[in-house]
Amino acid sequence: MKNRNKQFNEPELGKKPNRRIILIAGVVLLASLGSVYAWSFFTKPLIEAFKWSNMQVSAVFSLAVAGLGFSALYTGPLVSKLGSRRLMKRASYFFVSGYLIAALGLYLGSGVIGSIDTPWVSWLSFIILALGYGVIGGIGLGTGYVTAVTTVAGWFPHRKGFATGVIVMGFGLGALFMSKVFAPISMNITSGNIALTFLLIATVYAVIMSISCKFIYSPQSANAANIIPTISEVYEHVTATRVKLWMICFLYSVAGLGIISLMSPMMQSVLSNADSTLSTAKLAAAGATLIAAASVGNSIGRLFWAWLSDIVGRIFAFILLLGTSAIAFLVLPHITSPLLFGILISYTIASYGGGFGTIPSLISDLFGPKRMSAIHGLVLSGWATAGLLAPPFFGYMNDVIPDNAANYAFYICSGVLFIATILIYSLRSLHKECIKPA
């Protein structure tokens, strides 16, 4: 009989590996990949050093987001064919190479081949940066994300929600670590040279991710006792089920990403209405504080809602997080207290993160572990689509109708979340059927 470990190009197991070590390695890998969410830390230094526009610098991040979602769509079916370790190594190569190529682009734009004021020098530097960080790095993001989540879910069949919640929480905390610790230290070491900073970051992540990949094993390496066969393994789903899951991810991502893009100006608007004497610096600081609080809420929400879904069920947990967020958005236009406003915004972002923590387990319940990675990749393309559409649309509203943009945004978010709640409710009977023992 052919050894599946050999098929996956993974070492033969002398004994069953420690699942907790696999979980920790997965968290470290996703925390490394999650640093992409700290891109805004480099926005101002890049604009000042290379004289690019905000739109140009933001476009690099948009490419990375799109790369994550759409590469996950391609990678999903490969997890069960190539194995977790091989794909995580591939993700590491792409991710680190993205930083290295980006560093090359920034180096070329630093005066080596000509002044950055020269159009062709500026565009060459920018294109290489976008190709590296956005396209190449984005492929690494999507490959690593779907592989790590699928792997951990397979090793913890009894506590899928908690395990996937922990690992996707690492993705959120990685951004916090990068923006508050790693990036500032790296910029200080390199005396503000962004090209050298990217080179340093690439080197450190190359070491961390290479070590972590050695502790990754495919779930198929586990013994048969680790797998709980259910009807989901053989259930023939209609296309509508996949469409509903894609729409659910797209809709809660529209709400989450749209509000994230307007978070700071909305908080400043509430504060200025409450106290018109506040300075611009204090308003900006308050906006930054809300962003930090929401980032923490995003990370905690990924774990909390996923853990809760193990207790109350996937469908009910999703109904709670989507429904209560929709109600919160209906209330927000009438809030005048900055503290209460900040709490409600942080809650909606925590629920947005909770969607990402819970949906992998829901997919596994419906389609079984073997098909989970392929469907998860498909669903993440909904997030990528929302990432391309929502922030520009909400930003456009803020440019055209600045006085009413926030209220319109809240009502739109409430509406899409109510639709998502209805869609998830429509899956309740199917979910009950699929989780029955085979």
Structure-block tokens of residue 431: 């979910």
CATH fold of 231-434, please?
Growth Hormone; Chain: A; (1.20.1250)
Q: In the prediction, which pLDDT does 224 show?
A: 42
Q: Fold identical between 16-226 and 231-434?
A: yes
Answer yes or no: CATH 1.20.1250.20 is held by domain 16-226: yes
Q: In the prediction, which pLDDT does 4 show?
A: 45
For the chain, 438 residues long, the average pLDDT of each consecutive 10-residue run is 52 70 93 85 84 81 84 83 90 96 93 83 92 94 91 84 88 82 90 94 96 87 57 85 95 87 66 68 68 79 91 94 95 86 88 91 88 88 85 78 81 95 96 87
Q: In the prediction, which pLDDT does 223 show?
A: 46
Closest by alpha carbon to 88, among 417, 396, 276, 96? 96
Q: Report the 3 state secondary structure along the chain.
A: CCCHHHHCCCCCCCCCCCHHHHHHHHHHHHHHHHHHHHHHHHHHHHHHHHCCCHHHHHHHHHHHHHHHHHHHHHHHHHHHHHCHHHHHHHHHHHHHHHHHHHHHHHHHHHHHCCCCCCHHHHHHHHHHHHHHHHHHHHHHHHHHHHHHHHHHHHHCHHHHHHHHHHHHHHHHHHHHHHHHHHHHHHHHHCCCCHHHHHHHHHHHHHHHHHHHHCCCCCHHHCCHHHCCCEHHHCCCCCHHHHHHHHHHHHHHHHHHHHHHHHHHHHHHHHHHHHCCCCCHHHHHHHHHHHHHHHHHHHHHHHHHHHHHHHHHCHHHHHHHHHHHHHHHHHHHHHCCCHHHHHHHHHHHHHHHHHHHHHHHHHHHHHHCHHHHHHHHHHHHHHHHHHHHHHHHHHHHHHHHCCCCHHHHHHHHHHHHHHHHHHHHHCCHHHHHHHCCEC
Structure-block tokens of residue 284: 């900006």
Burial code (b: 16+ CB inside 10 Å, e: under 16) for 198-218 equals bbbbbeebbebbeebbebbbb
> What ranges do the domains of the chain cover?
16-226, 231-434
Q: In the prediction, which pLDDT does 90 show?
A: 94
Q: In the prediction, which pLDDT does 141 show?
A: 92
pTM of the model: 0.82
